[in-house]
Chains A and B, each alone.
Chain A
Amino acid sequence: MAETHSLQDMRQQAAIAAKVFIQRDYTSGTVCHFQTKFPSELENRIDKQQFEETVRTLNNLYAEAEKLGGSSYLEGCLACLTAYTIFLCMETHYEKVLKKIAKFIQEQNDKIYAPRGLLLTDPIERGLRVVEVTIFEDRSLGR
């Protein structure tokens, strides 16, 4: 069945029908937050709830990365005291969360989106501007 194509196969063989871009939502300031509005192009491909859940989780992860709190202040102060040389040895909290996000997107793609002929692109590859959803041609419908 076409739905069980792996991601690699899809990228190489399937033709791109369209791309949908989920833009940033700046109503809460400059924090990284994507719009949860469900795009009309995905209506017949994926469940609205599922998609919104994905975007909401993404938003929460980015909020965690940018959170101002005791741990981030401690990290900042320690870094300042060591003249920022400490980052040669360890990753920043933000980078750790970005890895988590990459893993999450990979997981979502494998479980939910690839079987439906969709592909989420990690926003960091687009400069945190958009979440790019690639819609592949649905061969099972003979298009």
Chain B
Amino acid sequence: MHLGLDEPMRECQYNQICTRNSSPMETSGHKKKRTPRRKWQIFPGRNRFYCNGRVMMARQTGVFYLTLVLIMVTSGLFFAFEWNNPPFQMVTELRFRQADGIYSTQSTVNLCCPFLASNLTPAIPVIGGVLFVFVLGMLFRASFSDPGVLPRATPDEAADLERQIDAANGPSGPGYRPPPRIREVVINGQTVKLKYCFTCKIFRPPRASHCSLCDNCVERFDHHCPWVGNCVGKRNYRFFYLFILSLSFLTVFIFAFVITHVILRSNRTGFLSALKDSPARYPFTGAECVLWSILGLSGFHTYLISSNQTTNEDIKGSWSTKRAKDNYNPYSYGNILTNCCAALCGPLPPSLIDRRGFIQPDTPQPVLHSNGSSMYTSTQLHTHMCDQEHCIQSTKLVLQAAATPLLHSDPVMMGGGGPPLPGKSSLGDPCASLAPSQPSLPSSMPGLGCAGDMLILRDPDTHCHHHHFVSPEETPSPGPMPLTLPCAAHMTHGGHINPAQLYGPASQDSLHEDSVRGLVKLSSV
């Protein structure tokens, strides 16, 4: 409708979008030469990085700060109140009162071990202090380290896997639904199914799982812990376990001394009133709240370690004999001691994601999602098109663009869809190249593309399903749109879009490109 009109103005509008959304593509050409970017800056998962990539956490960190505050406040109160008026420095007032009717404050007696009082007294706060420092150390280690994230497949790898899967499944007829992508492998006599991860484009190794909160596949995935603000996986499980174990000891330690303090006071006034009056009620309350849950959790994880299972496997009952009579855990080493040693003292594998490494210009990068820009140098550019995150991001950009009155005409025009735009379109080359290829999209649908995803849509276990729940929250769009997007995204997989046309002159216009692409996909469904 507005073709050919106000071309310079339209270009200005595109530039406005780019700068408003601070696309790195515009400035990256200049900036990359000066400040090489590190890999964490383009990491596709939903993680947060601090200290220039040294610290890696989940996106939601509020509960982690709560954990920190609870530990520090309870311990701080304990050290403040109990140390000022500790039971081990308290006078055995009863004894002296009974003896001569006079309160004596001359001698200090440790009620626990009277004959070792002078030796033990300094040891107790030291032990408390050491425990406290150890708890914090393990917490930080569990929270800040990489849990064992598997990096996403490069486009070449993904294409190779797709080819293998297509070859394995054979030609598909009309209405043929290919089975979900699963590989079976026999490990120590047990058949284990390896599922294909649509986000990471890999077959997940055994015991790996995709965390929907962090949007990463994690090796030996245990669970996502909001208290720790990170996933618990292969690389940080031992820190997590040591954290909850030492926290149990610290909580019991605090609880024990607080109870002792209150009991001593209650000799005079009675237990409940002593509890009410004593400042020890603060650490007491704090300690008791967490004591049973922490003790229970430690016990549970001790059981898991001794049987070499993950929380994920235990909850699903993967190796339970209820599933099948001859079901057993193929990863267990047979005895409890070896299982414990392997989990806690085994070799610590290094991080696979190399967060602080510099981005090499000649290495292929996996599909990005955070800023919608693509920086491929690999030969197979079209494989990035089937990234769901990319599509969801495109929708967001579309909606943002649609919200501005200046650009209101654009969606309307592209939504019209059908007739190919003239070669020299004021919208730029990518849009023009996309439009003519639209009619080819449905016919280029591979057997495993859309239909495969439709199957996955019904599988509650996969993250693909999760995306459909996440995206309505992320975008203000109405319901149907997000559901169709991944399908449309996969329809373009292996499609006939010429990569050169897409990435030629419009490299600085990537955001607009993405939003238009999203619209095109919408209209093509």
Contact = CB atoms under 8 A, between A and B. Distances in A.
Contacts of B207: 30
A19 B341 contact: no
A129 B185 contact: no
A68 interface: yes
B161 to A, nearest CB: 8
A66 B347 contact: yes
Contacts of B242: 80
A80 B345 contact: yes
A124 B352 contact: yes
Nearest to B141: A84
Interface in B330-350: 330-331, 338, 341-342, 344-350
Contacts of B90: none
Contacts of A84: 137, 141, 239
B352 A127 contact: yes
A5 to B, nearest CB: 17
B154 interface: yes
Contacts of B362: 11
Given A30-B207, A129-B150, A76 B350 contact: no
A54 B331 CA distance: 27
A42 interface: no
Contacts, number: 99
B342 A68 contact: yes
A126 interface: yes
B470 interface: no
A92 interface: yes
B206 interface: yes
B220 A30 contact: yes
A136 to B, nearest CB: 13
B192 A26 contact: yes
A27 B133 CA distance: 42
A132 B160 CA distance: 11
A129 B187 contact: no
A28 interface: yes
Interface stretch (A44-52, A93-101, A105-113): A93-101
A98 B352 contact: no
B345 A127 contact: no
Nearest to A66: B347
Contact of B350 (A11, A16, A80, A98): A98
Given A83-B137, A84-B141, A128 B187 contact: no
B187 A19 contact: no
A142 interface: no
Contacts of A129: 150-151, 153, 157, 202
Q: Which of B134, B185, B341, B345: most chain A Cβ within 10 A?
A: B345
B399 interface: no
Contacts of A132: 156-157
Contacts of B192: 26
Contacts of B133: 83
B187 A28 contact: yes
Q: Which of B151, B207, B341, B350: most chain A Cβ within 10 A?
A: B350
Given A24-B205, A127-B151, A30 B349 contact: no
B382 to A, nearest CB: 16
B188 interface: yes
**Interface majority SS (helix, strand, loop, mixed), chain B:** mixed
A128 B345 contact: no
A77 interface: yes
Interface in A114-131: 124-130
Nearest to A92: B348
B263 to A, nearest CB: 34
Nearest to B134: A83
B160 A26 contact: no
A68 B186 contact: no
Q: Which of A19, A24, A93, A127: most chain B Cβ within 10 A?
A: A127
Given A21-B157, A29-B187, A130-B157, A92 B353 contact: no
Contact of A26 (B156, B187, B350): B187
A73 B160 contact: no
A94 B141 contact: no
A98 B138 CA distance: 26
A55 to B, nearest CB: 17
Contacts of B238: 80
Nearest to B357: A125
A109 B524 CA distance: 47
B355 to A, nearest CB: 13
A72 B346 contact: yes
Contact of B349 (A16, A23, A66): A66
Contact of B347 (A19, A24, A28, A93): A93
Given A72-B347, A80-B344, A92-B348, A127 B150 contact: yes
A58 interface: no
A10 interface: no
A91 B342 CA distance: 19
Nearest to B150: A127
13 contacts: A24-B205, A27-B185, A29-B187, A29-B206, A30-B207, A68-B338, A68-B347, A77-B345, A80-B242, A94-B349, A98-B350, A127-B353, A132-B156
Interface of A: 11, 16, 19, 21, 23-24, 26-30, 65-68, 72-73, 75-77, 79-80, 83-84, 87, 92-95, 98, 124-130, 132
Given A19-B160, A73-B346, 17 more contacts: A11-B362, A28-B187, A29-B330, A29-B331, A68-B346, A68-B347, A72-B346, A72-B347, A73-B345, A83-B138, A84-B137, A93-B347, A94-B348, A95-B350, A124-B352, A127-B150, A127-B352
Pairs A-B, 7 closest by C-beta atoms: A76-B345, A127-B151, A127-B352, A73-B345, A83-B137, A26-B185, A94-B347
